[in-house]
Amino acid sequence: MILTYVMLGIFGLIFGSFLNVVIYRLPKNESIVLPGSHCTSCGKPIPYYDNIPILSFILLKGKCRSCQASFSFQYPLIEAVTALLMIAVFWKYGYSVQTIIHIALILFLIPISMIDIRTGLILNKLTIPGFVAGVVLILVLQPERWKEIPIGALSGGLLLFLLAVLGKVFFKRESVGMGDVKLLVLIGAYLGFPDVIIAFYLGVLLSFLYIIFGFSVNKIKLGDTFPFGPFIAIGTIVYILWGEQIIIWFSRLINL
């Protein structure tokens, strides 16, 4: 079991390193395959011994060996988060099909969230392949769940689409982007109904807490906008890891 955790951690770091490439290049319409890893300041290729997740960042003090330009702290952060989440999912679900499906979903949620934070966009280049990957995984690994795919996708997408329409009617501007709708369709395909709705409301709760905190420290003003996709993603991950406990706690709360 310990060896499994170690291997998952190593693979998580490797996947995280690749996700950094996706996060940086995809919004620029650059290939995520070629050219290989290189410094974005001087353009020189990064050798394999300087491209070891987290360790190379520490040894090089976060700087390029050639030009001494600083690398973003995002790189080791994404690597570490990816590894930790993969380990956490295995800790929760063990050797199961659910572990594979949830890890696949998380590997799409991470770059979708980071790109949304950086650019305000949720790219079809991630939501469409993510949706297709989820459908294929479920049909292959859990074919008995085939009915849950359209129900989960439609329920998630229609809920957010309705909120987007209502927001535009009442606030006279776009309050929810279509990228967010597509993201919830993607999540619904993986989780099914009603799980996608619970994950969504956890994301809404987290965004509400963020707004309250932002107002309290004068970081958010009335009329400001912020990316909603990361909150949906975090709500989904929270549900994946602690959904059962949350449902039990809420059930006890309303019975009091």
- The tens digit of pLDDT for each residue in 23-80 reads 999 998 888 888 778 877 777 888 888 788 999 889 888 888 888 888 889 999 999 9
Number of Cα atoms under 13 Å in the Cβ half of residue 213: 6
| 82 neighbors 53 (Cβ within 8 angstroms) | no
Which stretches of 60-128 are assigned E, i.e. beta strand? none
The per-residue pLDDT for 171 is: 59
- The tens digit of pLDDT for each residue in 189-201 reads 999 988 999 999 9
The distance from CA 244 to its chain's CA centroid, rounded to whole angstroms, is 20
pTM of this prediction exceeds 0.85: yes
| Structure-token pair, residue 29 | 């319409």
- For 162, the enclosing helix (H) or strand (E) is helix 148-171
In Å, what is the CA distance from 6 to each residue of 24, 65, 78, 84, 167? 27, 29, 18, 11, 46
Question: Does residue 256 have a pLDDT over 60?
Answer: no
**Is the torsion defined by CA of 181, 184, 190, 192 positive or negative?**
negative
- In angstroms, rounded to a whole number, what is the distance separating the alpha carbons of residues 190 and 35? 32
The per-residue pLDDT for 195 is: 92
Question: Does residue 118 have a pLDDT over 80?
Answer: yes
Average pLDDT over the chain, rounded to whole?
88
